[in-house]
Amino acid sequence: MNSLQTTDAPPATRASFTMADERSANRVVDVLSESFDNNEAAIAAFERPDGLWDVTLYFGDKPDETAVRALVELAADKASADAVTFDTVETRDWVKASLEGLAPVEAGRFIVHGQHDRARVPPNRIGIEIEAALAFGTGHHGTTRGCLLLLDQVLRSKWPRRVLDLGTGTGVLAIAAAKAQHKAILASDIDWRSAIVARENARLNGVGHLVTARHAPGFSSPDIRGRAPFDLVLANILANPLRRLATPMSQHLAPGAYVILSGLLPHQANSVVSSYRSSGLVLVRKLQLDGWTSLLMTKP
């Protein structure tokens, strides 16, 4: 399904460096995750016995070491970039291996977990399992957690009939909405591979019959236009495309609809809020986690 999972393939390249604390490590992982496609690299951070944090990147193809160091310098600092070490490891299901040390992520009633933690999900919580072999996106990213927390808040007071997960990625948000509501959810992504991944992850979580994943840019898809107006839109993308989508987003919303926006650095949040206010939306809540900001807005 994905080029990250191979059997008889050459060794993978591993790049490693160390950060001083969990917050710094998570911030660096978030920035690096935005810089690499899921098919290029798997990225994870693990705490060491001495309290420091190791950040590791696995590449299926040999990377440009100078480019990797430059990205690490942007995400962390020059000292960290200079300290990056490269070596090769045996190719196996190394994406899955890179996730085995990650604990489940809790966000309201939702718990995002790997296969190895399936049995640890309490019966009163909604578990979302993301198959490591399909994509590196497990909810550890601050933007995903922020969206899930805001989704949990919305679903406690409103029961949206028509839901769109715009820029679905691994499908985490669509799966969460489908499992919480037991209703059909539309998911879309500009990357056709992400649509495939989201579809497979939905099937893995038992909601394949509820989640429709489509390859579509913005609101141009006939599937999206045909299901509008939406009562809830989830858009965990980035600041620039979110600003561009403000007007078409508003045009595809029902009165009283909610919008959850994320993928924003704190200094970008106000300009995104302004764009959506200009399109008739009102800010309900701003949530900041791990150096990222998520917004809950509504169309009165």
Task: Flag whether 31 is in a domain.
Answer: yes
Task: Flag whether 244 is in a domain.
Answer: yes
Beta bridge partners of 282: 298
| Co-location of 147 and 228 in the same domain | yes
Task: Record the tokens describing residue 20, joined without a space.
Answer: 């001083």
| Co-location of 162 and 239 in the same domain | yes
| Co-location of 183 and 281 in the same domain | yes
Task: Flag whether 109 is in a domain.
Answer: no
Task: Flag whether 119 is in a domain.
Answer: no
Residue 30, pLDDT score = 78
| Co-location of 292 and 174 in the same domain | yes
| Co-location of 157 and 249 in the same domain | yes
- pTM score: 0.71
Domain residues for the domain of 259 are 142-298
Contacts 24+ apart (CB under 8 A), 66-73: 68/15, 71/31, 71/32, 71/35, 72/17, 72/28, 72/32
| Co-location of 24 and 161 in the same domain | no
| Co-location of 185 and 49 in the same domain | no
DSSP string across 81-129: HHT-EEEEE--SSHHHHHHTTPPPEEETTEEEE-GGGGGGS-TTSEEEE
pLDDT digit of tens for each residue in the chain (300 aa)?
233 333 344 677 889 999 988 788 878 887 887 777 656 777 777 777 777 888 888 887 888 999 999 999 988 899 999 999 998 876 555 555 555 555 677 889 998 887 777 888 888 899 998 855 433 444 556 788 899 999 999 999 999 999 999 999 889 999 999 999 999 999 999 888 788 889 999 999 999 999 999 999 889 888 899 999 999 999 998 889 999 999 999 999 999 999 999 988 888 999 999 999 999 999 999 999 877 899 999 999
Task: Flag whether 262 is in a domain.
Answer: yes
Residue 258, pLDDT score = 98
| Co-location of 41 and 166 in the same domain | no
Pinpoint the alpha helices (H) of the chain.
Answer: 22-35, 65-75, 78-82, 94-99, 142-155, 172-181, 192-204, 222-227, 239-244, 246-251, 269-278
Look up tokens 């490591």; give the residue: 132
Task: Flag whether 132 is in a domain.
Answer: no
Identify which of 217, 224, 108 has the alpha carbon closest to the alpha carbon of residue 164. Answer: 224
Task: Flag whether 107 is in a domain.
Answer: no
Task: Flag whether 122 is in a domain.
Answer: no
* Stretch (H or E) spanning 232: strand 230-236
Residue 165 DSSP SS3: strand
User: Structurally, how many domains does the chain consist of?
Assistant: 2
Identify which of 191, 158, 118 has the alpha carbon closest to the alpha carbon of residue 259. Answer: 158
Identify which of 213, 197, 215 has the alpha carbon closest to the alpha carbon of residue 39. Answer: 197
| Co-location of 165 and 281 in the same domain | yes
- Are 219 and 225 spatial neighbours (Cβ–Cβ below 8 Å)? yes
| Co-location of 146 and 235 in the same domain | yes
Return the CATH number at 211.
3.40.50.150
| Co-location of 146 and 291 in the same domain | yes
